[in-house]
Amino acid sequence: MNLKMAPSGTTRTKRYRRFNSRALAIPRFCIQRMMLKPLVWSLTSVRVQSESDVNKMPLPFIVVANHASHLDTPLVIGALPRRLSRYLAAGAAADYFFEVRWRKWLTSLVFNTFPVDRTGNRSHSGVSRELLRRGVPLLIFPEGGRSASGRIGSFKPGAAALAITCDVPCLPVAIVGAHEAMPRGKNWPVRGRPPIVVSIGSPVRAEPDETAGAFTQRLAEEIRRLHARSDSSGDSNSRVVRGDQMTAVKHMKWWGWGDEGVSFEYRNKPEFAPFVQKAVGLDVTTPPVPPLSFDELEVPAPRIGEQLQEQLTDILGAEHVHTDKMSRVVHTLGKGIRDLLRIRSSDLNRCPDVVVYPADEEQVRLVVEAAVEADAVVIPFGGGSNISGSLEPPPEEQRVVISLDLGRMNQVLEIDENSGLARIQAGAQGPDLERALAARGWTIGHFPDSFAHSTLGGWIATRSSGMQSDKYGDIADIVRGLRLVRSGGTVALRPLPSTSTGPSIREMILGSEGRLGVITEATVNVHRIPPVRKVLAYLFPSWDAGLAAMREISESDASPSVTRVSDAPETAFSFATRTASKGLKSASTKALTKVLTMRGWDLDQLCLSFIGYEGSESHVKYEKKLVKRIVSKHGGMYIGEGPGALYDQKKFDTPYIRDFLLDRGAAADVSETAAPWSKLRHLYDTTMAAAHSAYDDLGVRGWIMCHLSHSYHSGACLYFTFAFVHGDEPLKQYDHVKSAIQQAFIDAGGTLSHHHAVGVEHAPWLTDDISEEGVSLMRGLFESADPRRNFNPDKIIPRS
């Protein structure tokens, strides 16, 4: 048959019949589900995670996935529910799979393959379109072939163009670990059941008028995001870095936030560049100046003596004792703007001399004993995400500094289902523990913005708060029991719902930032995963209206998981980070604008609010009704699920903006506080005025915006984000603005920080916050617990 000839009607029907033939679907199902899936799943350790309810996926659709291994097709098929995989047709290279008769027959039988032209020969053009027209869902790997390195390559626009032409959604899927399990050139997985994650995103449709190029880029971004998240969200296995890195535990970029290869993209957000130009006078289209290269970084040589190094090696094994430059650099600082500015200018005063990775509490105890005996300094390390200078060794420290990384201690040890308690090792990062809990139907409900890269031990040591704290509480409420290894012994606090055993030792350890010892595990409250979880969006005509509504919601019978309202500047920022809206979306934006204008709202004063609901269907319905009444009473209006769902999906990606701005000469950071309801508005005004006056002192056009989050009976947290284009002395300029903001908090009746701890950054305001006598009590605690200052010295209370 001449393939280039258009097939006649009957030939055409015959040619496509096999793709949705019920008769062929039965043997295919048997092969896929009874042979292939058990085989792949037994030779590797596969975890499937999904951000959306794929059962609701309309047919047909196109699965787009990254491609690095022959395992990918069975993995995707095995990960999807039967309704979606039954007729799923996998794209296969026409020049390879369709040239040889037996190969064509076999792959068609097993994977329902259809030919994809890679060679420029368009002999199969139109096949995929016709399949979609006939309702057959497709699997396409837009890279056009398997990646040799395992890294995601560039995407060809075919899949996106097809989705646009046929008006079908794409389902993005990231496959993590398949390359390591069975790279190109291998036909059988490596031994030891290597970990693989199949991460399924939410369906994505092309916007009206979106070009294939732009849609391709959006899909690629989404797959990279899913990939990065799964890569950092694994269990003990998936946190293990494969290949070329030196440590067995995964860390963030040494120079910035999050995963290497993931960054903020502004080009698909048309309002972002003009917004930034107006806000701080920065042209984001000017070419970025990337941070210096790692080789250029000047790092002081390690000072550890042979004897201590040998002792540590004896305890942990040589592979868990690191003195290389990269290990020491990533354990030196946190991720505050000060840390980022310093690392970008190679301003590292003192790095840890050695990084150790204990496997269990006994090894922690032995390391602590050896360190204290050698009068060394021990700095516990969780995810390295703090922003208050909580990790940095004192610049003048002459003793050996040991960074004790808990990354290998990341297991959920036990769930007491009767009590709703889980015992978890301190080094478990957010995704580690949530996934392990979710597998048994539970959640801890603690989701700080840094969730993907911070640990249970770090949360406890900094008194962290997650965005669903209104329902689940702050970490201080969540932690019921814990174990802390200190010099000479282990503090063991049993999990108790409440107790009256004198001043609370548990409370003393909460927020101790490593100064009292090393937290090795904690027993925390966990909750059944609620059947319904929604974040809905509302608009208020003014900040006052928004604040008043949040207060009333917190007092009402509704108990939402999230109560959040942004001031007008932050609302404008949120709108500026939207992706291009065209067609229906833009029409609904226009309609909304019209309604608001007709209502007499000042569009520059709009305040966007998100309220989160969790629970049974009827409970959520009841809460929504109560909230709606309060919102209306304060002149606000409901604007739908869309913005809330988007916020929920993108909330962990926002931190990447900081590095994007730093690359372009602007510094952005956050400061947050909590105060009683009666003081919030005054605190807000005082802080805004202080920041703008600080900008005036510097002669820069600065930006500051705020949202209310974390509501309590008596007050709430106000969270400020500020940014400006810095000059030659960025740290000095930053200090000036940051100090003005912090002082305003204290002056207006707020605390120095609601959930970012003290570290060294907030220490100057400690006396104002808790009084001279309060500081004296705390100093007494640290001095008696650690007289030789072996544990993370100078944090919270600097040496006097």
Q: Cβ(92)–Cβ(138) under 8 Å?
A: no
Q: Is residue 561 near ligand FAD by the rule CB under 6 A? A: no
Query: Shortest Cβ contact with ligand FAD: which residue?
Result: 458
Q: Output 389 or 636, the one with its CB closest to ligand FAD.
A: 389
Nearer to ligand FAD, 72 or 786 (CB): 786
- Of the candidate residues 514, 541, 546, 636, the single one contacting ligand FAD (CB under 6 A): 514
Q: Which is nearer to ligand FAD, 218 or 564 (CB)?
A: 564
386 binds ligand FAD, rule: CB under 6 A? yes
518 is known to lie in a ligand binding site = yes
455 assigned ligand-binding residue: yes
Structure tokens at 480: 């019921």
Of 358, 372, 438, 457, the residue nearest 404 (C-alpha)? 358
Interacting residues of 642 by C-beta distance below 8 A, sequence separation 6+? 537
Binding track over 249-288 against ligand FAD, x by CB under 6 A: --------x-------------------------------
Strand partners, 271: none
Nearest to 242 by CA among 228, 231, 233, 252: 231
CA dihedral 479, 485, 490, 494 (to 10 degrees): 10
Q: Which is nearer to ligand FAD, 112 or 512 (CB)?
A: 512
Question: Is 389 annotated among the ligand-binding residues?
Answer: no
Burial of residue 494, with CB atoms counted within 10 A of its CB: 0-12 exposed, 13-18 middle, 19 or more buried: exposed
Sheet holding 532-540, edge to edge: 637-640, 532-540, 607-615, 562-566, 703-711, 715-725, 666-676
- The yes or no reply on residue 445 touching ligand FAD (CB under 6 A) is no
Widest pairwise Cα distance in the chain? 92
Q: HEC states along 120-166? A: CCCCCCCHHHHHHHCCCCEEECCCCCCCCCCCCCCCCCHHHHHHHHH
Among 334, 394, 702, 750, binds ligand FAD (CB under 6 A): 334
Pairing type for strands 170-176 and 62-65 reads parallel
Q: Which of 87, 472, 695, 719 is catalytic?
A: 719
Q: With binding defined as CB under 6 A, does residue 335 bind ligand FAD?
A: yes
Short-list 390, 406, 366, CA closest to 249: 406
Give residues 92-121 in contact with ligand FAD (rule: CB under 6 A): none
Interface with ligand FAD includes 758 (CB under 6 A)?
Answer: no
Which CB sits closer to ligand FAD, 214 or 428?
Answer: 428
Q: Which of 220, 402, 406, 752 binds ligand FAD (CB under 6 A)?
A: 406
Known catalytic residue at 538: no
Nearer to ligand FAD, 448 or 636 (CB): 448
Three-class HEC string of 552-565? HHHHCCCCCCEEEE
Beta strands (DSSP E) in 253-326 are 321-322
Under rule CB under 6 A, residue 392 binds ligand FAD: no
Q: Cβ closer to ligand FAD: 194 or 457?
A: 457
The response to whether 45 counts as a known ligand-binding position is no
Span interacting with ligand FAD, options 55-63, 214-222, 386-394, 765-773, rule CB under 6 A: 386-394
> N- to C-terminal Cα distance for the chain?
89
**450 among annotated binding-site residues:** yes
CA quadruple 311, 521, 192, 262: dihedral sign: negative
595-622 burial: b if 16+ Cβ within 10 Å, else e: ebeeeebeeeebbbbbbbbbbeeebbee
* Gyration radius from the chain CA atoms: 28
Q: Using CB under 6 A, count the residues that bind ligand FAD.
A: 38
Report whether 576 belongs to an annotated binding site: no
Residue 449 sits in the site that holds ligand FAD (CB under 6 A)? yes
Q: Tokens standing for 81?
A: 């529910």
Closest to ligand FAD by CB, 189 or 457: 457
Of 207-215, 445-453, 533-541, 686-694, which part binds ligand FAD (CB under 6 A)?
445-453
- Residue identified by tokens 């626009």 is 157
Q: Pairing relation of β-strands 138-140 and 114-116?
A: unpaired
514 is in an annotated binding site: yes
The stretch near ligand FAD (CB under 6 A) out of 292-300, 373-381, 548-556, 579-587 is 373-381
- Cα distances (Å, whole numbers) of residue 539 to 536, 610, 613: 10, 9, 17
214 binding ligand FAD? (CB under 6 A) = no
β-pair partners for 442: 528
Give me the 572-601 binding string for ligand FAD, x by CB under 6 A, dash otherwise. Answer: ------------------------------
> Considering the complex, what minimum distance in angstroms separates the CB of residue 508 from ligand FAD?
12
Cβ-contact 129, 140 below 8 angstroms: no
Please indicate if the annotation marks 403 as binding a ligand.
no
Q: Should residue 390 be labelled a site residue for ligand FAD when binding is judged by CB under 6 A? A: yes
Is residue 20 part of the contact set for ligand FAD (CB under 6 A)? no
Candidates 5-13, 453-461, 495-503, 740-748: pick the segment binding ligand FAD (CB under 6 A).
Answer: 453-461
3-state SS class at 443: strand
Question: Segment near ligand FAD (CB under 6 A), from 30-38, 317-325, 443-451, 764-772?
Answer: 443-451
Pinpoint the alpha helices (H) of 654-765: 656-662, 677-698, 730-747
Q: Give yes or no for residue 793 binding ligand FAD (CB under 6 A).
A: no
The region of 178-186, 264-272, 381-389, 769-777 touching ligand FAD under the rule CB under 6 A is: 381-389
For the CB of residue 484, give the shortest distance to ligand FAD in the complex, in Å: 7
Considering the complex, state which of residue 380 and residue 730 has its C-beta at the smaller distance from ligand FAD: 380
CB of 556 vs ligand FAD, minimal distance in Å: 25
Backbone angles phi, psi at 739, to 5 degrees: -65, -40
Q: Is 449 marked as binding a ligand?
A: yes
Where residue 192 falls (left for φ over 0; alpha for ψ -120 to 50; beta otherwise) is: left
Does 658 appear as a known binding residue?
Answer: yes
CA neighbours closer than 13 Å in the CB half-sphere of residue 295: 0
- Return the range that interacts with ligand FAD (CB under 6 A); candidates 69-77, 273-281, 755-763, 771-779: 755-763
Does 462 sit near ligand FAD (CB under 6 A)? yes
Q: Residue 563 Cβ, how far from ligand FAD at the closest point, in Å?
A: 15
Q: Which is nearer to ligand FAD, 114 or 656 (CB)?
A: 656
Going by DSSP bridges, is the β-strand pair 114-116/562-566 parallel, antiparallel, or unpaired? unpaired
Q: Could you tell me if 425 and 460 are in contact, meaning their C-beta atoms sit under 8 angstroms apart? A: no
**Closer by beta carbon to ligand FAD, 214 or else 757:** 757
The single residue among 468, 561, 753, 792 that binds ligand FAD, judged by CB under 6 A, is 792
756 binds ligand FAD (CB under 6 A): yes
Sequence-separated (6 or more) residues with CB below 8 Å from residue 370: 308, 311, 312, 315, 376
Binding of ligand FAD by 458 (CB under 6 A): yes
Which of 101, 174, 362, 286 is closest to 725 using CA atoms?
Answer: 286
- The answer to the question of residue 530 lying near ligand FAD (CB under 6 A) is no
Closest approach, Cβ 123 to ligand FAD, in A, equals 51
Catalytic residues: 719
In the annotated binding site for substrate, the residues are 658
Contacts to ligand FAD by CB under 6 A = 257, 334-335, 379-387, 390-391, 406, 426, 448-450, 454-455, 457-459, 461-462, 464-465, 513-514, 518-519, 655, 755-757, 792, 795
Binding residues for FAD: 449-455, 462-465, 513-519
